[in-house]
Copies of this chain bind each other. A is one copy, B any other.
Amino acid sequence: MEDKTCHGVEVAIDAMAGKWKPIILFHLMENKVMRFNELKRSIPNITQKMLTSQLRELEYHHIVHRKVYPQVPPKVEYSLTDYGQSIIPILKSMQKWGTSHFEHLNKNDKEQARE
């Protein structure tokens, strides 16, 4: 919050903070609509607790929409809000960069013992 110039960046960080949010968003971006367990299956290492909390935070930021079907057994669908769609460019550029970065890292670390 110190100065204006990077305020936007901080806000974005805040909205996407959390180990799993970008991954969740990425899956929602690809599949449009996903149920809770469907998401969970797509992200094997995540716990229910984490998936729930991260989704709730994304909901708070109006990035993800949570649609509950009042029935038994429960059915809940998650999707990007119209507004949340606007975050896609960030995800895309992250993915693009990440992929090339991964190769870049491998190149340089090939002979370096790391840890």
Which of B12, B15, B43, B98 is close to A2, meaning CB atoms less than 8 Å apart? B43
Q: In whole angstroms, how far apart are the Cα atoms of A44 and B10 in the complex?
A: 14
Interface size on A, residues (CB 8 A): 43
Interface presence of A108 (CB below 8 A): yes
A101 and B12 within 8 A (CB): yes
User: Shortest CB–CB separation between residue A18 and chain B, in angstroms?
Assistant: 10
Copies in the complex: 2
User: Shortest CB–CB separation between residue A115 and chain B, in angstroms?
Assistant: 11
In the assembled complex, which residues on chain B have CB atoms less than 8 Å from the CB atom of A22? 6, 9-10, 12-13
Given contacts A2-B43, A6-B95, 6 further A-B contacts (CB under 8 A): A6-B22, A8-B98, A9-B94, A13-B19, A13-B23, A93-B93
